[in-house]
């Protein structure tokens, strides 16, 4: 049925042609209650409680403000049961964060781009540090990095990461992966790439121009956040990540004079209704200057991993390899942990979170990121087929990425060299697979994966 | 096998080439030095040639921003935390803090040793009058500038009160040095003479520099010692390295083969990089090339208030990591993913992996500034600059809001008498030409009281923006409307086409190892700023009359010279 749908259209764009391809139109199996992350009633109740708490808090806050004669801009919040972020949360199932043809994703991206901000605050992991700054730490905990949680008018939340680097800047060659910058455009591009690869494991991210004065400084109720704002000698409004600033590792980010680019990534459902666990990647790096992990020295490392629970059964190892391919394409060496929803158990998909350290060097392909694939020599058939498809002229990865990113407000999100690097890296992935097949035979290497087999028979 | 044999030949070749290179490199500086000393000293009236292995003796520069500043880790005033909060009372630095005690006592001993030949001192001081040995080679503008009558005014006659060291007495007066000398005398008598021909009656360049310091200048105009000292800074073997404690940004104290010391500031920015517009003056990087250029500019302005600075390419492995006994420093060395040697040290500003200093693969540029005499021998006074900035993101300093601020200053000692206020004006002009907004304190030698020049230390934050002229630096000048006649005339001279400041600076900087020290836009900016200074002065003169603005310091001096000429 999908084929007919495709036939009726004129092919103006490679991206549309890609999504119309049969490989992208395998029907998902029907979902049972247990295969959906959230039940609508539970979610509604949860959020209604949150909303009423917010309203109480707001009322109190406004009274205090009025008592001290501060006039606050009116920030009206509207609870909308049809809000795109709620739909997004409800759509999360055991196969992916959202479905392929979900029109809600576009709506959500649009909302992230334009819905008014009503509150700004530090993120949970920053608050968890409780203001403790240890400047001697070489590897800074993730809470140290400058990012903010923004609440939108419809009560949706987004993580804001400001622009730290120009598009054409590359990571200096002497930087280790754990001191690299956080790039807002990498967050955006990672979402698009993940969708094009049909993994759908990155929460939607949109670029946005934020007015730091109106939408952060005046919107926040956090005194500490307010205290990190200042006006620069060039009369721009600036703010900084407290710890990194105190430790003099990073200077402030500044608007021009107020407007600042950044990435807005949609929040996942709260941990209390959809708990997740964080698991260290078996191919974690040492996070030291000299240390090496076992996988870096032992070419047979994967044999050990394969014996270990939970990698000894099911899809887990294959999912890790998907993730390695994804990271290799974006050049992200900083994948120390991955998260999965506890509800889906061991067969759940890993979330591809926190991709801001990708797209740092377009002139360098970090082959060590591919270690899981090169050492294990196994790949999902569905992934391999899509990678092959994307290496073809009429679906070329760089072209579909360029087109997909063209929809973002901050276009161009990636410079040409980065887009072309994607093609080059894709070839390298395919070459690694090819080598494996030559060595071990196709039956050993190309795994007919669990989900896919289901679908083809369906 | 054949392949291997081929390689053997290749390896042998490489080895031979390496050997030749080493021999050449070893020989070159020696030859150079020999050539330098023979030409330089034949013209010199003094009987002592600089030793073949010149020594420079280190002095801890009292850095106002540093030593005792920073109360514990700026937890309270986060908004001020990029400020270079100096403490006000820094005249007494503890010696122990500074460097390895070994080098120090060694240095004291040397001093004592040289002191016994005190009578020779006068020769150095009288170098002032030696104008013959000008470096006239391909450099024309610079030498014509120095030939100009304005650059030939002589100093008043110097008495014992006017020189920093009365070599005979000073050591006796310094119990600490004597003490050190005594307990150190036990073991290493033979280390007295470092190497080569340096003997009891031959002073090393660093000591000649120290002895030459007097009430009016750090060094005399055509002192051959200065060129030799600059050469020393570049060529002396580095025997030990220590981190300067308490500093805001990373600085290393380097000790040379023969106990000479210098302050090393590594390169942090490329020549083309400008300070980002959103940076405050107190969060700016310190630039090694600014240190070098400041020395040259100061000399061209004929102030002679900056200790000599030279650029040097330092091998981070052999000349820093392998010779330091500082564990904290040593620990921060690492090999980068691009296989370069990097380190970041320990300090409060930009000492982290994100700001690691990396060689290519192990060579790093830096500036080496000669140390001033040890504080134990020549105490210095630290003064708070009346036009100090607030070092706060939002607060303004008093002078920024009060247009009559200078009237107040003029009535406060020491600005109410002598030349101090005029010296501040000189410093203001100097800082404006470089764009240095970070002049919070200045220093003088305690011995000379209030009638002395001020030392222009710490110029690393100059030359940050070539496209911007920070006119607020000139505020002292526009508020006070006072200037020395000599300075005014020199500025006018340097604004003329044939003596153009940018051209003489470019010429002067060519002599540095790290040439080009400044990119052309910075040089051009100095011409532009010079015109702005002259404009401010012209406005002052128009408003208040020539004689109220320009203080005639030339007549007085020539009167002095007339009587003092021997």
B109 phi/psi in degrees, rounded to 5: -60, -45
Mean of pLDDT values over B332-351: 89
DSSP letter, residue A27: P
Closest residue in A to B73 (Cα–Cα): A246
In chain A, residues with a C-beta closer than 8 Å to the C-beta of B78 are 227-228, 242, 245-246
Contacts of residue A263, defined as CB under 8 A and 6 or more positions apart, other chains included, come to: A160, A161, A184, A185, A187, A188, A205, A206, A207, A208, A356
Mean of pLDDT values over B180-190: 38
Q: Which B residues 75-94 touch A at CB under 8 Å?
A: 75, 78-79, 81-82
∠ CA A398-A401-A402, nearest 5°, is 85
DSSP calls for A167-229: TT----TT--GGGPPP-HHHHHHHHHHHHHTT---S--EEEEEEEIIIIIITT---HHHHHTE
Is pLDDT above 70 for B563?
no
DSSP letter, residue B319: I
**Facing B394 at nearest CB: one of A179, A230, A252:** A230
Is pLDDT above 90 for A413?
yes
Ligand-binding annotation for B543, yes or no, is no
Q: What is the pLDDT of residue B163?
A: 87
What's chain B's Rg over C-alpha atoms?
Answer: 24
Is pLDDT above 50 for B170?
no
Q: What is the pLDDT of residue B96?
A: 38
- The per-residue pLDDT of chain A, averaged, comes to 87
Strands (E), B338-471: 341-343, 357-358, 363-370, 380-384, 441-445
CB pair distance less than 8 Å for B336 and A238: no
Closest residue in A to B77 (Cα–Cα): A246
Judged on CB neighbours under 10 Å (0-12, 13-18, 19+), A272 is exposed
On whether any CB of chain B is under 8 Å from the CB of A292, the answer is no
In chain B, residues with a C-beta closer than 8 Å to the C-beta of A230 are 79, 393-394
Mean of pLDDT values over A95-117: 92
Q: What is the pLDDT of residue A109?
A: 95
Mean of pLDDT values over A309-335: 92
List pLDDT tens digits, range B284-340.
889 999 999 999 999 999 999 999 999 999 999 999 999 999 898 999 999 998 999
Is pLDDT above 80 for B396?
yes
Mean of pLDDT values over B39-48: 37
Ligand-binding annotation for B397, yes or no, is no
Ligand-binding annotation for B154, yes or no, is no
Mean of pLDDT values over B398-418: 90
CB pair distance less than 8 Å for A236 and B283: no
DSSP letter, residue A130: T
Dihedral (Cα; A423, A425, A429, A430), 10-degree rounding: 30
Nearest to residue B287, comparing CAs of B272, B305, B277?
B272
Cβ(A263)–Cβ(A184) below 8 Å: yes
Position with higher pLDDT, B525 vs A70: B525
Q: Which of B127, B284, B326, B438 is catalytic?
A: B438
Minimal CA separation from A173 to chain B, in Å: 6
Give the other-Cβ count within 10 Å of B108's Cβ. 24
Is pLDDT above 70 for B349?
yes
DSSP calls for A305-331: HHHSTTTTSTTHHHHHHHHHHHHHHHT
H-assigned helices in B394-519: 398-401, 405-410, 420-434, 475-480, 485-495, 501-509
DSSP letter, residue B63: -
Contacts of residue B496, defined as CB under 8 A and 6 or more positions apart, other chains included, come to: none
B162 is catalytic: no
∠ CA B548-B552-B553, nearest 5°, is 140
Contacts of residue A127, defined as CB under 8 A and 6 or more positions apart, other chains included, come to: A143
In chain A, residues with a C-beta closer than 8 Å to the C-beta of B75 are 246
Q: What is the pLDDT of residue B54?
A: 36
Taking the C-alpha atoms of residue B64 and residue B454, their distance in angstroms, rounded to an integer, is 14
Closest residue in A to B360 (Cα–Cα): A174
Taking the C-alpha atoms of residue B266 and residue B258, their distance in angstroms, rounded to an integer, is 22
List pLDDT tens digits, range A272-284.
899 999 999 999 9
Taking the C-alpha atoms of residue A295 and residue A304, their distance in angstroms, rounded to an integer, is 10
ipTM above 0.85, yes or no: no
Cβ(A85)–Cβ(A102) below 8 Å: no
Query: Among B158-162, B372-376, B556-560, where is mean pLDDT lowest?
Result: B556-560
Contacts of residue A156, defined as CB under 8 A and 6 or more positions apart, other chains included, come to: A83, A84, A85, A86, A111, A112, A115, A266, A267
Q: Which A residues 116-135 touch B at CB under 8 Å?
A: 135
Please count the residue pairs, one from chain A and one from chain B, whose beta carbons lie less than 8 angstroms apart: 79
In chain B, residues with a C-beta closer than 8 Å to the C-beta of A248 are 82, 348-352, 355
Which DSSP helix (H) or strand (E) runs through B281? none
List pLDDT tens digits, range A331-370.
999 999 999 999 998 888 999 988 999 999 999 999 999 9
Taking the C-alpha atoms of residue A414 and residue A19, their distance in angstroms, rounded to an integer, is 21
CB pair distance less than 8 Å for A252 and B278: yes
Residue among B352, B359, B437 with most chain A CBs within 10 A, to mutate: B352
Q: What is the pLDDT of residue B28?
A: 56
Nearest to residue A429, comparing CAs of A323, A355, A314?
A323
Q: What is the pLDDT of residue B169?
A: 47
Q: What is the pLDDT of residue A415?
A: 95
Q: What is the pLDDT of residue B139?
A: 59
List pLDDT tens digits, range B88-127.
333 333 333 444 444 444 545 555 455 444 444 444 444 4
In chain B, residues with a C-beta closer than 8 Å to the C-beta of A234 are 277-278
In chain B, residues with a C-beta closer than 8 Å to the C-beta of A233 are 277-281
CB pair distance less than 8 Å for B350 and A238: no
Taking the C-alpha atoms of residue B267 and residue A271, their distance in angstroms, rounded to an integer, is 48
Q: What is the pLDDT of residue A145?
A: 83
Nearest to residue B379, comparing CAs of B289, B433, B449?
B449
Does residue B57 sit in helix, strand or coil?
coil
Closest residue in A to B470 (Cα–Cα): A233
């Amino acid at each position: 049925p999908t084929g007919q749908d495709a036939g009726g259209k004129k092919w103006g764009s490679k991206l549309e042609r890609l999504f119309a391809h049969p490989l992208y139109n395998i029907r998902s199996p029907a979902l049972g209650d247990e295969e959906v992350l959230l039940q609508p009633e539970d979610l509604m109740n949860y959020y209604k409680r949150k909303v009423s708490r917010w309203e109480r808090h707001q009322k109190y806050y406004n009274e205090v403000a009025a008592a001290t004669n501060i006039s606050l801009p009116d920030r009206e919040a509207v609870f909308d049961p049809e809000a795109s972020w709620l739909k997004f949360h409800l759509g999360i199932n055991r196969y992916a964060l959202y479905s392929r043809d979900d029109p809600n994703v576009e709506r959500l991206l649009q909302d992230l781009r334009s819905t008014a901000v009503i509150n700004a605050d530090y993120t949970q992991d920053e608050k968890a540090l409780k203001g403790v700054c240890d400047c001697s730490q070489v590897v800074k905990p993730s809470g140290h990095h400058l990012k903010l949680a923004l609440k939108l008018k419809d009560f949706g939340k987004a993580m804001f990461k400001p622009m730290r680097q120009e598009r054409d800047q590359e990571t200096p060659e002497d930087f280790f992966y754990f001191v690299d910058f956080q790039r807002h455009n990498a967050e955006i591009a990672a979402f698009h790439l993940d969708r094009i690869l049909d993994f759908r494991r990155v929460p939607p991210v949109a670029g946005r121009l934020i007015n730091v004065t109106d939408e952060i400084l005046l919107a926040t109720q956090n005194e500490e956040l307010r205290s990190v704002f200042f006006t620069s000698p060039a009369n721009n409004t600036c703010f900084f990540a407290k710890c990194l600033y105190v430790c003099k590792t990073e200077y402030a980010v500044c608007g021009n004079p107020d407007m600042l680019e950044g990435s807005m990534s949609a929040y996942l459902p709260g941990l209390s209704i959809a708990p997740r666990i964080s698991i260290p990647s078996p191919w974690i790096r040492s996070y030291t200057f000299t240390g090496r992990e076992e996988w870096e020295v032992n070419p047979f490392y994967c044999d050990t991993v394969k014996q270990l629970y939970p990698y000894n059964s099911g899809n887990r190892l294959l999912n890790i390899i998907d993730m390695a391919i994804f990271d290799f394409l974006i050049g992200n060496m900083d994948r120390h942990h991955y998260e999965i929803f506890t509800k889906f158990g061991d067969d759940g998909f890993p979330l591809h979170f926190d991709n801001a350290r990708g797209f740092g060097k377009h002139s360098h392909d970090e082959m060590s990121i591919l270690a899981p694939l090169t050492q294990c020599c196994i790949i999902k058939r569905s992934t391999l087929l899509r990678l092959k498809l994307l290496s073809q002229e009429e679906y070329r990865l760089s072209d579909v990425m360029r087109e997909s990113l063209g929809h973002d407000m901050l276009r161009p999100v990636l410079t040409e060299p980065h887009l072309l690097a994607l093609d080059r890296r894709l070839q390298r992935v395919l070459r690694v697979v090819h080598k494996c097949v030559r060595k071990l035979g196709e039956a050993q290497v190309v795994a007919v994966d669990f989900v896919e087999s289901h679908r083809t028979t369906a | 096998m054949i392949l291997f044999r081929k390689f053997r030949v290749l390896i042998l070749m490489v080895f031979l080439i390496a050997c030749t290179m080493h021999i050449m490199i070893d020989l070159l500086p020696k030859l150079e030095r020999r050539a330098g000393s023979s030409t330089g000293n034949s013209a010199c009236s003094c009987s002592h040639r600089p030793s073949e292995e010149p020594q420079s003796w280190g002095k801890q520069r009292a850095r106002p921003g540093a030593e005792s500043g920073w109360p514990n880790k700026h937890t309270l005033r986060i908004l001020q935390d990029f400020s270079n909060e100096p403490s006000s009372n820094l005249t007494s630095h503890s010696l122990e803090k500074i460097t390895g005690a070994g080098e120090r006592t060694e240095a004291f001993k040397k001093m004592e040793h040289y002191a016994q030949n005190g009578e020779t001192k006068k020769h150095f001081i009288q170098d002032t009058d030696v104008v013959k040995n000008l470096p006239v080679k391909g450099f024309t503008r610079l030498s014509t500038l120095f030939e100009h009558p304005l650059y030939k005014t002589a100093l008043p006659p110097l008495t014992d009160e006017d020189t920093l060291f009365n070599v005979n007495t000073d050591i006796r007066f310094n119990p600490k040095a004597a003490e050190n000398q005594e307990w150190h005398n036990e073991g290493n008598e033979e280390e007295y003479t470092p190497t080569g021909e340096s003997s009891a009656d031959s002073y090393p360049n660093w000591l000649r520099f120290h002895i030459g310091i007097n009430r009016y200048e750090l060094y005399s105009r055509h002192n051959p010692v200065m060129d030799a000292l600059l050469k020393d800074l570049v060529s002396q073997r580095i025997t030990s390295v220590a981190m300067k404690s308490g500093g805001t940004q990373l600085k290393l104290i380097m000790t040379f083969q023969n106990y000479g010391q210098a302050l090393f500031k590594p390169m942090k920015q490329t020549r083309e990089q400008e300070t980002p517009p959103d940076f405050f003056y107190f969060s700016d990087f310190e630039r090694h090339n600014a240190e070098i250029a400041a020395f040259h500019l100061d000399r061209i302005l004929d102030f002679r208030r900056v200790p000599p600075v030279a650029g040097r390419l330092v091998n981070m492995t052999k000349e820093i990591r392998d010779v330091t006994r500082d564990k904290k420093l040593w620990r921060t060395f690492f090999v980068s993913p691009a296989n370069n040697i990097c380190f970041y040290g320990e300090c409060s500003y930009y000492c982290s992996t994100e700001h690691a200093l990396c060689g290519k693969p192990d060579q790093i540029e830096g500036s080496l500034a000669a140390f001033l005499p040890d504080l134990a021998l020549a105490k210095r006074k630290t003064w708070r600059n009346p036009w100090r900035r607030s070092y706060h993101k939002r607060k303004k300093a008093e002078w920024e809001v009060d247009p009559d601020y200078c009237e107040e200053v003029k009535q406060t000692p020491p600005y109410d008498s002598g030349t101090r206020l005029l010296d501040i004006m000189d410093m203001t002009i100097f800082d404006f030409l470089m764009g240095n907004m970070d002049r919070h304190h200045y220093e003088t030698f305690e011995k000379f009281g209030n009638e002395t020049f001020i030392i222009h230390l710490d110029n690393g934050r100059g030359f940050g923006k070539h496209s911007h002229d920070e006119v607020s630096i000139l505020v002292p000048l526009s508020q006070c409307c006072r200037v020395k006649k000599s300075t005014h005339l020199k500025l006018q001279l340097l604004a003329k086409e044939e003596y153009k400041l940018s051209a003489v600076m470019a010429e002067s900087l060519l002599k540095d190892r790290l040439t080009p020290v400044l990119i052309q836009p910075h040089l051009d900016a100095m011409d532009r700023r010079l015109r702005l200074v002259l404009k401010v002065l012209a406005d002052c003169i128009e408003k208040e009359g020539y004689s109220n603005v320009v203080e005639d310091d030339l007549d007085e001096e020539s009167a002095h010279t007339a009587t003092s000429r021997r």
